[in-house]
C-alpha cells in the first residue's frame, strides 16, 4: 500500500480519542496502512523483567499504530493541515507538495 506520509512528517489527528493533536511520525507501517505517531494513541503494556536485555518489569506506556486515513500532513511552510499533491520535476523525480500553498513537503 502506498502512503502519502513519511517518517518525521508532522501530522494532525482527524479522528479518535486524540483528535486535534499534532505529532511527528516515528514509523510507517505501509503493509498495514498504519503509522506510529509520537505521543498519540498511547497504550499501557505490562512487561516482564528480562535481566539479559536490561529491561525492568512493570507497566510501560507507548504509542500504538494509527490508521493512515485518520491523519493529515501539516505543511511546514503554511502550518496548516493539507492534502498532499505530487509534482513531477525535471528528470522524472516526484515531489510531495502542499495543496494549499504549493510548498515543498520533503
Spatial contact of 88 and 29, defined as CB atoms under 8 Å apart = no
- Dump pLDDT digits (tens) for 12-52: 999 999 999 999 999 999 999 999 999 999 999 999 999 99
CA–centroid distance for 18 within its chain = 13
What pLDDT score does 48 carry? 94
Q: What is the CATH number of domain 1-49+59-74?
A: 2.30.30.30
What spatial distance separates the first Cα and last Cα of the chain, rounded to whole Å? 20
Count of other CB atoms within 10 angstroms of residue 23: 22
Predicted model pTM: 0.88
Distance CA 82, CA 91 (A): 26
Band of pLDDT at residue 75, cut at 50, 70 and 90: very high
- Give the start-to-end residue ranges of the domains of the chain: 1-49+59-74, 77-106
Amino acid at each position: 500500500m502506498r502512503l502519502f506520509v513519511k517518517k518525521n512528517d508532522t501530522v494532525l489527528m482527524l479522528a479518535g480519542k486524540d483528535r486535534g493533536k499534532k505529532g511527528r511520525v516515528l514509523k510507517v507501517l505501509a503493509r498495514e496502512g498504519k503509522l506510529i505517531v509520537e505521543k498519540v494513541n498511547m497504550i499501557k503494556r505490562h512487561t516482564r523483567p528480562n535481566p539479559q536485555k536490561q529491561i525492568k518489569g512493570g507497566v510501560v506506556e507507548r504509542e500504538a499504530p494509527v490508521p493512515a486515513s485518520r491523519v493529515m500532513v501539516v505543511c511546514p511552510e503554511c502550518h496548516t493541515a493539507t492534502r498532499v499533491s505530487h509534482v513531477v520535476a525535471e528528470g522524472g523525480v516526484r515531489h510531495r507538495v502542499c495543496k494549499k500553498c504549493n510548498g515543498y513537503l520533503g
